[in-house]
Amino acid sequence: MHKIGSVPFKVHKNKVAVLFVTSQARGRWILPKGTLHDGESHEDACYRETYNEAGAKGFMMKNYPITKPITKLTSNGMISNSVTFYPLVVENQDNEWPDKTKRQRHWALLKDVSKVASREDYLLVLEDFKRLKPWKLI
């Protein structure tokens, strides 16, 4: 099942920060993502998942998708889903959001993401994000 996610980020004084959220089951630091609903565009899914999981709104950089397999431990063992992540420039962050009681959120400087990201697969997404340098385009 294909999923859609985001790499929510902001730039301040030439420093790039990425917004992480905790996974619901194990509380690990991950990037917002979720299932693409029938008839839903990648753009709509990206905005929905970023808002629902992190309470963040902004604009998606749809010309820079990063698709990677992301693994998840389930009761049936490890499963892998293809996830397309889009860089998303965060413009607003609400204090109340749909998953507030289920998740925490945390900003990390791009240079420190390897200390935060819970799994190697997220680090691969963030390495591609670093190479894209989408913040140079905003």
For residue 40, how far is the Cα from the chain centroid?
18
Instruction: With cut-offs at 50, 70 and 90, classify the pLDDT of residue 24.
Output: confident
**What phi and psi values does residue 118 have, to the nearest 5 degrees?**
-80, -20
pLDDT of 1 above 80: no
Please give the helix or strand (H or E) that residue 110 lies within, else none.
none
**20 vs 103: CA distance, rounded Å:** 10
**CA torsion, points 12, 108, 35, 127, in degrees to nearest 10?**
90
Instruction: With cut-offs at 50, 70 and 90, classify the pLDDT of residue 138.
Output: low
Of the candidates 114, 7, 109, the one whose C-alpha atom is nearest the C-alpha of residue 66 is 7
Per DSSP, the residues of 37-57 read PTT--HHHHHHHHHHHHH-EE
Instruction: With cut-offs at 50, 70 and 90, classify the pLDDT of residue 39.
Output: very high
- Retrieve residue 73's tokens: 């431990």
Which residues are registered as beta bridge partners of 20? 106
3-137 homologous superfamily: Nucleoside Triphosphate Pyrophosphohydrolase (3.90.79.10)
Q: What is the pLDDT of residue 136?
A: 79
